[in-house]
Amino acid sequence: MYEKYKNNHYFQAAFGKDCVDAGFIKGWVGVSMERDIFLQFPELNIYPIEVNYKNFDELSCFTVIEYLFDNISKKKMHFIRPV
C-alpha cells in the first residue's frame, strides 16, 4: 500500500518534488522522509519501509500508519503546457 501511494506521488506536498521549470520544490516536512522518520523515531528501525516492514512489531506498524496518514495528501491536477 505504501509503495502505491509513493509511486503515485501522494507524498509530494510533504517531501517535495522535482519540477522541470523550478527545480526541486521543498515540501512542508522537508526533503527527506528517511531523515524525518529517523528524527521523530530514532529508537525504531522503520526506514526504508519497503525493506523493514516484514520485521515491524505492533508499535512500529501503528507508528508507520500514523506517520503516513499525517503526511499523505491528495494529488493535484497536473497540466501539460502546450509546446
Confidence of residue 41 (pLDDT cuts 50, 70, 90): confident
Question: What is the count of structural domains for the chain?
Answer: 1
Q: What are the CA-CA distances from residue 68 to residues 2, 5, 6, 20, 23 (Å)? A: 8, 10, 10, 27, 25
- Is 36 within the bounds of a domain? yes
Residue, of 70 and 76, whose pLDDT is higher: 70
Tell me the pLDDT of the chain averaged across its residues: 81
Whether residue 35 is contained in a domain is answered as: yes
**57 assigned to some structural domain:** yes
**Residue 3, pLDDT above cutoff 80:** yes
- pLDDT of residue 79 exceeding 90, the answer is no
Residues 10-29: tens digit of each pLDDT: 888 888 888 788 788 888 88
- The answer to whether residue 79 is domain-embedded is no
Q: Domain range for residue 27?
A: 2-71
